[in-house]
Each structure stands twice: as structure tokens, then as C-alpha cells.
Amino acid sequence: MASHGGQPSFLERLDRMDRRWIFLAMFVAVAAPILWVGVTGKTFPEAPTPAVQGAFDAVDSLPPGARVLVSMDFDPASAGELQPMATAIVRHCVLRGHRICAMTLWPAGGPMIDGTMQDVLGDRPDWKYGEQWVNLGYRAGFEGLMKGIEGIADFDLLVSVSAGYAGAKEWVQYSVSPTLTGPRPLRFVAGSTGVQTPQLIPYYPNQMAGILGAIKGAAEYEFLVNEAVRKADPNAVVPAKFQEAQRRMAPQLFGHVLMVALIVLGNVVFVGLRGREARA
Amino acid sequence: MSQFQAGSPVDPAVARRAQRLWIAVLAVIAALLVVRAWVGTEVGSGPSAQVVHGYGMVYVEQKGAMHVQVPASAWAEAVAADPAQRQVTVSWPRTAGVWIAALMTLAVLSFLWRDNPVYKLAESVVVGVSAGYVMSTAVWSSLVDQVFGKLAPGLTKEWLSPGLTVTETDWWALVPLLLGMLLLCRLSAKLSWVGMFPLAFVVGVFSGWRFVQYVESDLLAQVATMFDPLWVPGPTAAATVGGTLCAVLVLVGVLSVLAYFFFSLEHKGPVGGAARVGIWYLMITFGASFGLTVMGRIALFAARCEFLFDDWLWLIDPAGKH
Amino acid sequence: MSRSVAVLVASVAAIAMVLSKFIVPMESAETTVAEWFNAAAAIAFVLGGASLLKMNLLAISARGPGWGYSAVTLLAFLATLGVGLLKVGVAPSVAYPGHRMSGSTDAEGGALWWLYEYAMSPITGTLFAMLAFYVASAAFRAFRAKNAAAMFLLGTAFIVLLGRTYAGVVVTSWIPADMPWVSWLRLENLSAVIMSVFTTAGTRAMIIGIAIGVAATGIKIMIGLDRSYLGAGSGGGNG
């Protein structure tokens, strides 16, 4: 509906705006902070939430040498969110001296394990394959495979970094819940994408000791691990590769602010045009 | 009306202008890439520092039969120590890979402008590679060890999987082979009815598994949490009030949302009131889900941007990779 | 007749799986069936690959618009399958250095690993990353606060969007953090409360409802009432 003289008003032009301008705004909102953080190295401080603290405590409270099953149930599509989580958790286990058994329920998850272990153990020649850690690789068959893992109940902690099906929910259903009423409940910690986090929240804290939700959860966990390293050695320098999630919180901030602004702007346009229609 | 109305998208003049504009844009991008290479990047530090006129390069170090990726600074140090060394070198296959990955990333992002052949090419490549990858992995990780290894352990150990621990033939491994073959019959129009049986087996097994696990984990365990104490004492009065209020709100929320989803009773009176409260809870749940979904999507794009700026263009180096 | 046999197969399989949970001698049956399912799932992938091959060959032979892309898909599929099955470029494992096939098919340095790392991984990652743009466009065009429920939804979204970043800390930094009666109003704390109270309650109820639905469907399959998995029609073979 055009206003005076057939020329569209500002609100109308805004309403009909080519969505590629929005795409450009999102690109700038994400790319610019990445460049800024990459050049300056600055990150925002993190304050851990109870769910992430619970996950950290679950790993930290185990005695050195504890057996931890880490299931990296994701593929490259979700690696942006979940890789920093997997790295932080595995690093924490290594720092605590836990024995790690890595596996994945996703066919394309094998290289995720290799990449994570290489990142964490690259400068740890003292960590021997077969002694401190093993890689079971991809286990097909989805739910059924849990039964194929010999002695899963013997693990002290189960960790699943999960992007969807099969993942954390299936681990809770098939491996964790059956042990809860037994003599040795299996402790479980999950990391999940933002999309999956609301679906897993009800399992916390009764069936799950902690949950890392989205890149924010990964950043909080990284912060906790790095703080623990600095507490043990005030002169320790944390390698930049272990601050990946914290670096990604800068584009998150601007992206989220843009989203809020777009929603507000869209509603201002909507209300303005509706008011004009009512007056006409 | 002329087929080629001036100014319309099919007007050849518009198409020529658009083509010239695209050529200009691509030329500018190519020029920027050349300038980037000419400017170079300093790798290494101290006396081993040197400028590399290039980017998107991957360096590897030979360790036994494997080549392990190392930072460019490791190459600079190795060359400074011994210019003739061949231990740490540029890996041209991996460097080509980084460039292909970067161009494929840009090809997919080009869809944001408009659907185009370059995007379709990238899409075709990923469909083929993904299917091939999943099939290769499934064959080696499941079929070779679980089926062939159990039916012919000697042959499998000798030719395919030397680490196989099975020594005796297990004829029960014919069952999954038979199930799988019957499933393949779904491809044939004449024999597709045969595929009903393995499908029925799979459905039956899944439903039996899920029956127990959903009841145990999602029904009983979740209902049990509703019997947790509503009085939650804390270290301070505020913590006690807060904890107790939260516990009450959770219980009220679960009951009201269940009331909303219970359609066997008309939503009138107390049930209707509870259902209305349930709707508020659901709106808050969906609002939170939306916020978390946005967070996830932006994180994925941030990771791709990092790849382009760090691994490809070498504009930033937050993790010290080069 | 064949449909009845299929329904019986499903029913017996379902009941056996339930009983194996409670009858100790039958526990091994559950493990065995799980292993069968692993292998059958792998064969299902072969089915998927064969289906892909068939569809693309048909598209190429029909020479319809875009048949070239089918050719590219087929080439990529066969090349990946070939290098994956033959373990091209994969170094032998440390335990069996003399055996060419002893290494893992997706080991770093192999051809399959190269295709995964430089073709599959970046393209799939970027495809999913594009959702960030579409979510932004949808936010501008579609999210309208037309009624109170929508306002509740959008208000919560604002709190979570801001509260889970440093923006939330800045916006409500004026609220004292050391006064517990008011500190919960800070956006970062409010978003945590929304997750732990309201989202937990809403999702818990949905989980309970879904569990009841799954149990009901399972019972219907066990007693042969649900036959939807067989598809429409009378099926072939002996009736």
C-alpha cells in the first residue's frame, strides 16, 4: 500500500526490504568480532551456571585413574558448537589423569575423536594409546550398541557430547537410567547443541550430573578448566587452542543483539503499518 | 507487450550489465587474494622468523609412516636450523584441500545471494561424498568384523582384518546377513513384499526396546522427580525461598502442561484454568528454545568464518596454527 | 498371509525384547539381537547407497535438466566408496605394519580422510551455518507480537538471547549481584532460572506425554493392532 503520491513510505520500504541486507548484517555481526578477537586475543569473562559447574565437579571429583567413557556423538555439521566442548572435557580428564575410552555413535564421528585426541594429547608423549586411552571408533546400530560395550557399568563416568539422535538422550535411556536404582549408579554428563539442550534439561540433576548447553556451556567449562590450571600454577600459560569457545562468544554477543534488534524492528514496522491501515 | 521489456530481468541489456558487474566483483576478489599473497605472513619468531608469500598452506612433519600436521612456525624453525631439511615440509595435498574447502564454503554461501550452478555443484559433491563415506565406514566397522569375520574368520583375518579375535565360525552371523539381504529386496518392485519381514523385525525390536526404556527413563524417573521435596532449605533465607518457589513452580508447570495436552477432558473450569497456565509455560519453553537455537546457528557460522579467516586467508591466528 | 506373518514377527520380537529385560537367561538374547542390528544397520546403508546409485543413473540416462549434477554426485559417491573400501593412502597400523589393510579406513592421511576433511566437513558445516542467516530473516519478517502468548514467547527469547552472552551482564549490571533478593533479576541469572524452572517443567511434561505415547504404540505393536509399518495394500507373494 503506497502512501502519498504512490511513493512507498519508509515503513513500507523497510517491510519490503530485500532479505539479503539482513544476511549482510548477520555476516558483519559475526565476521567483525571474529577478526577483532583474532587480532586482539581478548575474550569476555564467563560465570559458570550450576549445570556446567555440576558437569565440571563430576569430572573433577573422580580420583586419578578413573575410567571415563567419552562418546563424541556428532559430525562436522555440529562441530562448531560441540568440538570446543569435547576438547575441554577430554583435556580436563587428561589433566586429572583419568583413563579415557573414546567412541562415537555417528558414522562420521570417527575423525572427531581423532582430531580431539590429537589436539589435547599432541604435546603429551607420556599418554600412551592402549594404556591411558583407547579409541573404540564408530559403533553402529544406535540404541542396541550400548549393550555391546562390555562392562559399561564399570565406568566411573559417562560423557556424551551429542548433536541429536543417537546421543545423550539414548545414553540416559539405555545405559544410565537402568543403573540408577542399582548398587552403582552410572554418573553421566552431557554436552549438547543449543537445539537439543531443552530436551535434556529435565534429566538434570536426577539422571544427569551436569549439562553443557550450546557454545555458552562450552565457554563456561573451558573457563573452569583454565581457572583450575591457573590455580594449580599461577604462571601457567593457557594455549589459545583451549579457549576456542570463549573466543566464539564475541560473535555470539553481536549476533544475538542483532537478532533482538531485528525482532524489535520487525514488530515496529508491523505495528506502524497496522496503525496506518486502521487510520485509513 | 515485447518479450524483452526494457528494464525487466530478461532484458538482454540488464543481463549484460549483471554479467559485467559479476565479472567486476570476481576480479576485485581475485585482486584482493593476490594482494594478500604478495603482502605475505611472518611465520616463526626470533631468528627463525621468515615471511611466507602465500596462505592456506599446511605443513606436515614425517613421523614414521605418518605425516602429522604442524604449525608453520615449526617449519620456519626447522628450515632455520637446516635449510636442506625434508622432515617438515609443505603438504600440497592438504594445502589443495584447504583451498578446495574454502572455495566450496564460498560456493555454498553464494546461495544466500541466489541459487546458482556453483552452489548446486557443491551440493552434488557433498551428497555423493557423504553417502560414500557412511557406506565405507559402515562396511569396515560392522560388516567386515561382525559378519564376514564371524562367517569366515580365517580368510577375513588374513586378507582384511588382521586384528580379528574371532577364531571359530559363528553361523548365527547369517541372520543379520539374511535380514539385510531381505531389506535390499525393497529396491525391487516385484520382491518388495519380501522386505516386509526384516522391517517388521526391526520395528518389533525397536518398539520393545523403547517400551521399556521410555517407561523407565522418561515416565517413571520423570514422575519420580515430581515427588521431590517442595521445601528446599538453603544457606540463607533468600536461597530457601528461591529454591522452594522454584520447586513449586516446576511442579505446577508440569501438571498444567500435562493438563493442556490432555484432550480427553474438555478444557473448562479447573482443567481449563490449568491448561491456560500450561500454555504460558509452553510459550516460555518455546521462547527459550528459540534463543538457544539461534545461539547454535550463530556458533556454526562463526566456526566457518574462523576457518576462512584463519586456516585459509591467514588473516588471524588465534590458536597459533601458523 | 504374509502380512499376518510380518505382524507376528514384529509382535514376537517386541515381546521378546521386553521379556529379556526381566528374565535373566534372556539377557544374552538382547545382546545378540543388538549385534545383529548393528550388522543389519550397516547393510541398510548399502541399501541407501544402492538407491542413490539407481536414482542418479536414471537421471543421467533421462538427460533431463540438471543431469550433470547427478553425474557429479555419482562420481563423488563412487570415488569416495572406492577409496574408502580399498583404504587408499591409509598407512598400516602400528600393531600390523606388514598388512596393507590393517589401518583404520578413516585414518588421517588417507584418501577417505582427505575427502572427509576437505569436502564433506566444510560443505556440511556451511550448509548448517546458513541457518543463522535464515533465522535472522525469519526474525525480522515473521516474529510478530500479535497477542499476549506471542509476547511471552518473544520476551523469553530476548531474556535468553541477551542473558546467555555478555550483553546480559552489561544491560543489568546496575542490579547488585550481592543482594540475593534482587540479583536473580540480572539477565544472566534470569535466563538460568528460565531454563531450570520453566523450560524444565514444560519439557518434562512433554517427555512424560511422549513416553506414554511410545508405551501405547509399543503395546499396540505387541498385540498386532498397529500395522502402519507394513504400508498400504495387500503386499505381494502368498496372501
What are the tens digits of pLDDT across the range C167-192? 999 999 999 988 889 999 999 999 99
Choice between A79 and A3, residue whose per-residue pLDDT is larger: A79
How large is the average pLDDT for residues B106-114? 94
Chain centroid, CA A278 distance in Å: 47
User: CA triplet A34, A38, A44: central angle to 5 degrees?
Assistant: 75
Which residues does chain B have within 8 Å of residue A37's beta carbon, measured at their own beta carbons?
316, 318
Q: How far is CA A114 from CA C14, C107, C108, in A?
A: 37, 8, 8
CB within 8 Å: C210 and B218:
yes
Give the number of domains in chain C: 1
3-class secondary structure per residue, chain C: CHHHHHHHHHHHHHHHHHHHCCCHHHHHHHHHHHHHHHHHHHHHHHHHHHHHHHHHHHHHHHCCCCHHHHHHHHHHHHHHHHHHHCCCCCCCCCCCCCCCCCCCCCCCCCHHHHHHHHHHHHHHHHHHHCHHHHHHHHHHHCCCCCCHHHHHHHHHHHHHHHHCCHHHHHHCCCCCCCCHHHHCCCHHHHHHHHHHHHHHHHHHHHHHHHHHHHHHHHHHHHCCCCCHHHCCCCCCCCC
How large is the average pLDDT for residues A173-181? 87
Q: What is the pLDDT of residue A59?
A: 97
How large is the average pLDDT for residues B288-312? 94
Residue B41, beta-bridge partner list: B52
- Taking the CA of residue C63 and the nearest CA in chain A, the distance in Å comes to 32
Owning domain of residue B307: 226-322
Taking alpha carbons only, the member of B292, B298, A219, A47 closest to residue C172 is: A47
Rounded distance, CA B103 to CA B122, Å? 9
Instruction: Assign A2 a pLDDT band (cuts: 50, 70, 90).
Output: very low
Statement: residue A147 has pLDDT above 70: no
Statement: residue A5 has pLDDT above 70: no
CB within 8 Å: B283 and C219:
no
CB within 8 Å: A266 and C144:
yes
CB within 8 Å: C157 and B101:
no
CB within 8 Å: B305 and A79:
no
Statement: residue C78 has pLDDT above 90: yes
Which residues does chain A have within 8 Å of residue B303's beta carbon, measured at their own beta carbons?
79-81, 83, 248
Instruction: Assign B9 a pLDDT band (cuts: 50, 70, 90).
Output: low
Rounded distance, CA B226 to CA B251, Å? 6
Which residues, including other chains, have CB under 8 Å from residue A251's CB and lie 6 or more apart?
A29, A30, A31, A33, A34, B298, B301, B302, B305
Quote the percentage of chain A above a pLDDT of 70: 94
CB within 8 Å: B134 and A107:
yes
Q: What is the CATH number of domain A50-238?
A: 3.40.50.1220
Give me A113's grid cell. 575423536
How large is the average pLDDT for residues A33-38? 94
Give me A122's grid cell. 599432541
Which residues does chain B have within 8 Å of residue A135's beta carbon, measured at their own beta carbons?
none
Statement: residue C194 has pLDDT above 90: yes
Instruction: Assign A85 a pLDDT band (cuts: 50, 70, 90).
Output: very high
Statement: residue A144 has pLDDT above 50: no
Which residues does chain C have within 8 Å of residue B120's beta carbon, measured at their own beta carbons?
66, 69
Statement: residue C234 has pLDDT above 50: no
Q: Is there a cis peptide before residue A166, judged by omega within 30 degrees of 0? A: yes
Residue C159 counted as domain residue: yes
Strand order in the sheet with B88-90: B66-70, B59-63, B88-90
Choice between B80 and A149, residue whose per-residue pLDDT is larger: B80
How large is the average pLDDT for residues B267-274? 92
Cα dihedral sign, A72-A74-A77-A82: negative
Instruction: Kindly report the average pLDDT of chain C as a whole number.
Output: 89
Using DSSP, state whether A45 is helix, strand or coil.
coil
Statement: residue B6 has pLDDT above 70: no
How large is the average pLDDT for residues A115-141? 85
Mutate to test the interface with C, among B63, B135, B255 (most CBs of C within 10 A): B135
What are the tens digits of pLDDT across the range C97-111? 888 888 888 888 899
Residue C8 counted as domain residue: no
Q: Which has the minimum average pLDDT: A42-56, A129-143, B275-289?
A: A129-143
Mutate to test the interface with C, among A259, A269, A273, A274 (most CBs of C within 10 A): A259
- Taking the CA of residue A198 and the nearest CA in chain C, the distance in Å comes to 7
Owning domain of residue C147: 143-230
How large is the average pLDDT for residues B26-46? 87
Which residues, including other chains, have CB under 8 Å from residue A67's CB and lie 6 or more apart?
A98, A99, A101, A154, A155, A156, A157
Instruction: Kindly report the average pLDDT of chain A as a whole number.
Output: 89
Residue B304 counted as domain residue: yes
Choice between B114 and B193, residue whose per-residue pLDDT is larger: B114
Q: Amino acid identity of B160?
A: L
| Residue in the structure block whose three cell numbers are 562450552 | A218
Which residues, including other chains, have CB under 8 Å from residue A17's CB and lie 6 or more apart?
C140
| Residue in the structure block whose three cell numbers are 607420556 | A126
Alpha helices in A97-194 (DSSP H): 110-121, 145-148, 168-171
- Taking the CA of residue A264 and the nearest CA in chain C, the distance in Å comes to 8
Residue C206 counted as domain residue: yes
Cα dihedral sign, C92-C96-C98-C102: negative
Choice between B188 and A86, residue whose per-residue pLDDT is larger: A86
What are the tens digits of pLDDT across the range A195-249? 999 999 999 999 999 999 999 999 999 999 999 999 999 998 888 889 999 999 9
Statement: residue C116 has pLDDT above 90: yes
How large is the average pLDDT for residues A170-195? 90
Beta-carbon neighbour count of residue A50 at 10 Å?
14
Instruction: Kindly report the average pLDDT of chain B as a whole number.
Output: 89
CB proximity under 8 Å: A 93-112 to C: 107-108, 110-111
Statement: residue B272 has pLDDT above 70: yes
Instruction: Assign C34 a pLDDT band (cuts: 50, 70, 90).
Output: confident
Rounded distance, CA C194 to CA C181, Å? 17
CB within 8 Å: A22 and C140:
yes
Give me A265's grid cell. 524492528
Residue C127 counted as domain residue: no
Residue B243 counted as domain residue: yes
Residue B170 counted as domain residue: no
* Beta-strand pair A99-104/A133-138: parallel
Choice between A116 and B322, residue whose per-residue pLDDT is larger: A116
Give me C131's grid cell. 541457518
Q: First CA to last CA across chain B, in angstroms?
A: 61
Q: What is the pLDDT of residue A207?
A: 92
In degrees rounded to 5, what are phi and psi of residue A208?
A: -145, 130
User: Could you tell me if A151 lies within 8 Å of chain C, comparing CB atoms?
Assistant: no
What are the tens digits of pLDDT across the range B291-300? 999 999 999 9
Q: What ipTM does this complex have? A: 0.89
Cα dihedral sign, A245-A248-A253-A257: negative
CB within 8 Å: B206 and A143:
yes
Residue A102, beta-bridge partner list: A70, A135
CB A71 within 8 A of CB A160: yes
User: Could you tell me if C177 lies within 8 Å of chain B, comparing CB atoms?
Assistant: no
Choice between B9 and A178, residue whose per-residue pLDDT is larger: A178
Mutate to test the interface with B, among A18, A24, A27, A34 (most CBs of B within 10 A): A34
Count of pairs with CB atoms under 8 A, one residue in A, one in C: 151
CB within 8 Å: B309 and A31:
yes
Statement: residue C80 has pLDDT above 90: yes
Quote the percentage of chain C above a pLDDT of 90: 60
Please classify residue B95 by burial: count the beta carbons closer than 10 Å to its beta carbon, then call 0-12 exposed, 13-18 middle and 19+ buried: middle
Statement: residue A3 has pLDDT above 60: no
Quote the percentage of chain B above a pLDDT of 70: 97
Give the number of domains in chain B: 2
Residue B150 counted as domain residue: no
User: Could you tell me if C67 lies within 8 Å of chain B, comparing CB atoms?
Assistant: no
CB within 8 Å: B299 and A80:
yes
What are the tens digits of pLDDT across the range B116-154? 999 999 999 999 999 999 899 888 988 888 888 889 999
Q: What is the pLDDT of residue C20?
A: 87
Q: At what angle do helices C27-62 and B117-138 cross, to 10 degrees?
A: 150
CB A215 within 8 A of CB A248: yes
Rounded distance, CA A35 to CA A25, Å? 15
Which residues does chain C have within 8 Å of residue A195's beta carbon, measured at their own beta carbons?
none
User: To 10 degrees, the CA torsion angle through A104, A109, A110, A113?
Assistant: -80
Q: What is the pLDDT of residue B1?
A: 42
- Supply the pTM of this predicted model: 0.88
What are the tens digits of pLDDT across the range C122-168? 999 999 999 999 999 999 998 988 899 999 999 999 999 999 999 99
Q: What is the pLDDT of residue A148?
A: 42
Residue B63, beta-bridge partner list: B66
Give me A268's grid cell. 515496529
